[in-house]
Amino acid sequence: MDNQIDNRVNLYQRTVIFSLLFTLVGFSYNVWRMEVSENNNNMRTASFEMLKNLSSLEQLVYSAYYDEDLKEGNPRKGWVIVGLIDDLSVLTNEDVKTTTTDLKEVWSLHWETIASRQQTVDSIVGSIDDVRDEIKSLLKSLD
């Protein structure tokens, strides 16, 4: 009789331990999955905002050079857009951050001549396209 009770207690203890381990593993996975999902969501949101701002910057450059409209193509507005793109890049990956830094450097070298030099327009638009390509790559790689 004691042996039968010992077997039941032993089975009960094993069941409790297994249940606790299973619960712990399930909870840990859930927390990890939620963290990854939140990180991916933050990257997506930042990427979409960056794409919008890249379009605005490109439009500004085209307005300044092709339309000769320094009201719409004001380089000071461009500094604000470039700064925002750079700030948002912190929420993305290293490749996007690198190309965003490159864009900021190209902008800082050429912003004064966006209204007068085709080479400036080509350099800035090329940098914008590089950032755009890296963002698209990032978005494709997310879970």
How far is it, in rounded angstroms, from Cα 58 to Cα 137? 20
Q: Averaged over 116-123, what is the pLDDT?
A: 96
* DSSP assignment string, 12-34: HHHHHHHHHHHHHHHHHHHHHHH
- Residues of the chain with pLDDT > 90: what percent? 89
Which amino acid, residue 137? Answer: S
The size of the chain, in residues, is 143
* Better pLDDT: 66 or 5: 66
Reported pTM: 0.82
| Chain segment 48-97, per-residue pLDDT in tens | 999 999 999 999 999 999 999 989 999 999 999 999 999 999 999 999 99
CATH number of 2-141: 1.20.120
The C-alpha atoms of residue 134 and residue 42 are separated, in whole angstroms, by 16
